[in-house]
Amino acid sequence: MSTIAQNEFQLFINGAENPSSDGRRQEVRSPATGEVVGSVAEATAGDVDRAVTAAAEAFPKWSALTAYDRERTIKAALAHVRSKADFIGLG
């Protein structure tokens, strides 16, 4: 059996990684082997409320940006995702 690196992912709320407020996690398994390859934080209703509130608070600043600045931000995010393509299974 091969060894697969374990990856732990948190919730991304208000620009930062956060554990679930109740500490619960969900295993992530490889669909090819069934092997556990990591875990993700399980969001509670309270975590979702915090994320929605943070997004609503960030919206005025985002909407005040020019289309060019929003495009630049989105392209930077896309470049980051592409740089991780092999890791997240897009490569």
pLDDT for residue 24 is more than 90: yes
Residue pLDDT, tens place only, 35-55: 998 999 999 999 999 999 999
Least confidently predicted of 24-33, 61-70, 82-91: 82-91
Q: What is the pLDDT of residue 1?
A: 45
Contacts of 30 (CB under 8 A, 6+ apart): 4, 37
Radius of gyration of the chain (CA): 17
β-bridge mates for residue 8, sequence order: 39
Q: What is the pLDDT of residue 91?
A: 60
Give alpha helix (H) positions in the chain.
45-64, 67-83, 85-88
Q: What is the pLDDT of residue 21?
A: 97
Neighbours of 11 (CB within 10 A): 20
**Considering the chain, what percentage of its residues have pLDDT values greater than 70?**
92
